[in-house]
Amino acid sequence: MLHIDLPTRGEILKLAEVRGGPCVSIYVATTPLTEHAQQDRIELKNLMRDALGQLEAADTPKRTLARIEEAVAGVIADDDFWAYQANSLALFVTPETLTSFRLANKLQSMVEVSDRFHIKPLLRAVAFPHEAFVLAISMGGVRLVEVSADLPPHPVAVPGLPKDMADALGRRSHGERTGAGTGGESQSEHALLTRFSRAVDQALRPVLTGSERPLIVAAAEPLASIFRATSSYPLVAGEVIAGSADHRPDHELSAAARSILDGLHAAELARLAALYADRAGEGRATTDIAAAARAATFGAIDTLIVDMDQVVPGTVDADGVVTFAAAAGAGNYGVVDEIASRALKSGARVIAARAGDVPGGGSLAAILRYAI
């Protein structure tokens, strides 16, 4: 099991607001296998040594160095902490604070030292939903299962949710016929399944309202299609977990749901690539770092897709003018990371993606609110 601490958008914005430094951002590729944790601790120690070297080169006071080193050393020495890991670990350290997140994404090990935190890889963790609801529905039973990134799947209590189709239709069993006065409905399986689906949808509405998680239907046909057509929830996934869900355990539904979530991520990236191409023809898209920096500074970016791994060292001034640096150091930072921070603060959607998923093949691709 992965032990995950997903950052909220508010927590990421708080990190993005930090200025003045020194700020040390460390990402470590980890393993959830406790017996291999020692290698990850050694990797963190080596990355910290690199950070201290950069800080010393920038003439950082020894007392400040000692505080940062002591904070990270405390993490390295914490046996209980290393017993529960995921696929990556992110640490954000100042002389006064240390914030950590255990992440499901496989990130590259790296360290950045500057007067601000390097948050771009962290954005990968919140780019797409890692959580969903699964509705397991059949004529013989209904249940709602919550699938989350950091906990085992578990059933959700839904007040008024029919136990099965018979309960929804007010019958002793789903095979019972009501006779006269039904307008022929007793002979129409489609009509009965539609009534059943509406009853389930009505019960789910108060539980799902306001949620941003996809709802994945686990059902056999034709019920799967009928419920999807009937549901009032706007985030019902197009793909279903096919077959009867009556006897499928929650962990199997969860595994199937995660596969569907991966497909939703890929489809969304393809949609954004197509949108970028359309907007580029209208002068409302760019892969140029300097142009994107100005756009981010003045709130002109609607959606920003960035290469989560590449670091382009330099600085961006208050007017959005970029000065590139020959090499990374404590006196500069990742320019694309700073653009991402500014876009995030202006309300833009920021997606950290793999290099091959960035439209145009560069360090970033910005879809603009208006032409600049």
Q: What is the tens place of the pLDDT at every residue in 208-230?
A: 998 888 999 999 999 999 999 99
Name which of 47, 51, 20 is nearest 113 in CA terms: 51
| Distance, CA of 130 to CA of 214 (rounded, Å) | 10
| Distance, CA of 99 to CA of 58 (rounded, Å) | 23
Q: How far is CA 143 from CA 15, 247, 257, 311, in A?
A: 39, 12, 15, 46
Cα distance from N-terminal residue to C-terminal residue, the chain: 47
**Cβ neighbours around 109 below 10 Å, total:** 16
Domains, the chain, ranges and CATH? 9-126 (3.30.960.10), 132-267 (3.30.420), 281-368 (3.30.1330.30)
Retrieve residue 140's tokens: 């013989």
Length of the chain: 372
Pair 211, 173: CB distance under 8 Å = no
pLDDT at 171: 67
Pair 111, 47: CB distance under 8 Å = yes
Q: Is it the case that residue 173 has pLDDT exceeding 70? A: no
Q: Quick one: CA torsion of 306, 309, 310, 313, rounded to 10 degrees?
A: 100
pLDDT at 172: 60
Q: Is it the case that residue 187 has pLDDT exceeding 80? A: no
Distant-in-sequence contacts of 251-260, Cβ < 8 A, 24+ apart: 251/152, 251/153, 253/134, 253/136, 253/145, 253/147, 253/153, 253/218, 254/134, 254/145, 254/147, 254/152, 254/153, 256/216, 256/218, 257/132, 257/134, 257/147, 257/216, 258/147, 260/132, 260/214, 260/216
Look over the chain and give the mean of its residue pLDDT values, rounded to a whole number. Answer: 91
Pair 262, 237: CB distance under 8 Å = no
**Residue bearing tokens 């003439």:** 59
Mean pLDDT (whole number) for 159-188: 69
pLDDT higher at 105 or 255 = 255
* pLDDT tens digits, 307-357: 998 999 999 999 999 999 999 888 899 999 999 999 999 999 999 998 999
Q: What's the whole-model pTM score?
A: 0.77
pLDDT higher at 108 or 2 = 108
Q: Is it the case that residue 46 has pLDDT exceeding 60? A: yes
Most confident listed range (211-215, 264-268, 365-369): 365-369
Please report which confidence band the pLDDT of residue 243 belongs to, taking 50, 70 and 90 as the band edges.
very high
| Distance, CA of 264 to CA of 129 (rounded, Å) | 9
Q: Is it the case that residue 262 has pLDDT exceeding 90? A: no
pLDDT at 179: 45
| Distance, CA of 110 to CA of 123 (rounded, Å) | 15
